[in-house]
């Protein structure tokens, strides 16, 4: 639901996808292409780069020349910082372009100057701006235990690790033992009422979690939640059944 919302919200239709060359970006881009073109949008560029690539002058020039309105980035560090710097220097966002990255969290904001990613849209299961009581309490506890620059965020696997341990605990409690088969059986439908970003539950037979997802926008060096998408079923996060 993120890209339909983005297209409706911004009115943009021309997408460019600069990407790191491994399975996750290829899989993501396949789904994004499907969703965007089904809604009348166009992919004007899709390029893949080695993980250690740092010179994006050519692809940035192509982004500007094609009239791309949205850049969906799956370039990862160490290439991330030079890419967003070069894109910013070229004036992409200054001309009204939108930068999108679905792994970019508050810790990543420490890697780049805030103005380089001002207005960036992301979509994750948690942002520090989420304001339900448990999420606020959990964040406060974390910061009292672990002060410093390493923040409790989604992209750093904090939220997924928290849910995994709590779901496993719920499964062990139901199984009444650490017997592997019994725990696996209970884990298939385990649920937690409270977690970062809200409740979560395993979808029986899927080995995936149904949980809340949020759209956020980078503003002044932090993320502000602009849309709570609610519980998202895992079938909406997969390219195909396997």
pLDDT value at 25 more than 80? yes
Using the CB atoms, write b or e for 101-120: b if 16+ within 10 Å: bbbbbbbbbeebeeebbeeb
Confidence of residue 90 (pLDDT cuts 50, 70, 90): very high
The string of pLDDT tens digits covering residues 28-39 is 999 999 999 999
Mean pLDDT, residues 84-92: 97
DSSP letters for 90-140: TTTTTTT-EEE-SS--TTGGGTS-GGGSTT-EEEES--TT---HHHHHHHH
Closest of 61, 81, 73, 66 to residue 120, by C-alpha? 73
The string of pLDDT tens digits covering residues 130-149 is 999 999 999 999 999 999 88
Tokens coding 102: 């679905």
- Which option is the CATH number for 2-126+211-237: 3.40.50.2300, 3.40.50.1100, 3.40.50.1370, 3.40.50.261? 3.40.50.2300
The string of pLDDT tens digits covering residues 64-83 is 999 999 999 999 999 999 99
The string of pLDDT tens digits covering residues 215-240 is 999 999 999 999 999 999 887 555 55
pLDDT at 110: 82
CA–CA distance, 240 with 242 (Å, rounded to integer): 6
Percent of the chain with pLDDT over 70: 97
Strands (E) in the chain, as ranges, are 14-20, 42-49, 70-72, 98-100, 121-124, 191-192, 200-203, 208-219, 222-232
CA–CA distance, 131 with 142 (Å, rounded to integer): 15
Confidence of residue 241 (pLDDT cuts 50, 70, 90): very low
Q: Where are the domains of the chain?
A: 2-126+211-237, 133-208
Tokens coding 80: 């991330």
pLDDT value at 214 more than 80? yes
Closest of 26, 6, 20 to residue 70, by C-alpha? 6
Cα 155 to chain centroid distance, Å, stands at 7
pTM reported for the whole predicted model: 0.92
């Amino acid at each position: 639901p993120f890209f339909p919302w983005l297209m409706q919200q911004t009115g943009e239709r021309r997408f460019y996808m600069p990407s790191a060359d491994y399975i996750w970006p290829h899989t993501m881009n396949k789904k994004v292409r499907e969703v965007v073109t089904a809604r009348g949008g166009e992919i004007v560029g899709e390029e893949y780069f080695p993980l250690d690539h740092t010179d994006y002058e050519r692809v940035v020039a192509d982004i500007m020349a094609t009239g791309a309105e949205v850049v969906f980035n799956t370039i990862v560090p160490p290439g991330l910082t030079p890419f967003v710097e070069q894109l910013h220097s070229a004036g992409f966002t200054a001309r009204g372009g939108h930068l999108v990255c679905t792994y970019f969290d508050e810790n990543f904001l420490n890697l780049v100057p805030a103005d380089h990613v001002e207005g960036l849209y992301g979509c994750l299961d948690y942002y520090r701006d989420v304001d339900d009581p448990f999420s606020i309490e959990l964040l406060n506890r974390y910061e009292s235990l672990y002060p410093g620059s390493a923040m409790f965020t989604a992209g750093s696997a904090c939220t997924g690790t928290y849910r995994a341990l709590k779901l496993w605990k719920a499964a062990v409690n139901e199984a009444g033992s650490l017997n592997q088969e019994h725990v696996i059986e209970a884990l298939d439908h385990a649920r937690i009422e409270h977690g970062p970003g809200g409740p979560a539950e395993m979808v029986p037979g899927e080995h995936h979690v149904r949980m809340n997802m949020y759209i956020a926008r980078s503003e002044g060096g932090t993320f502000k939640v602009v849309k709570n998408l609610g519980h998202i079923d895992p079938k909406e996060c997969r390219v195909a059944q396997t």
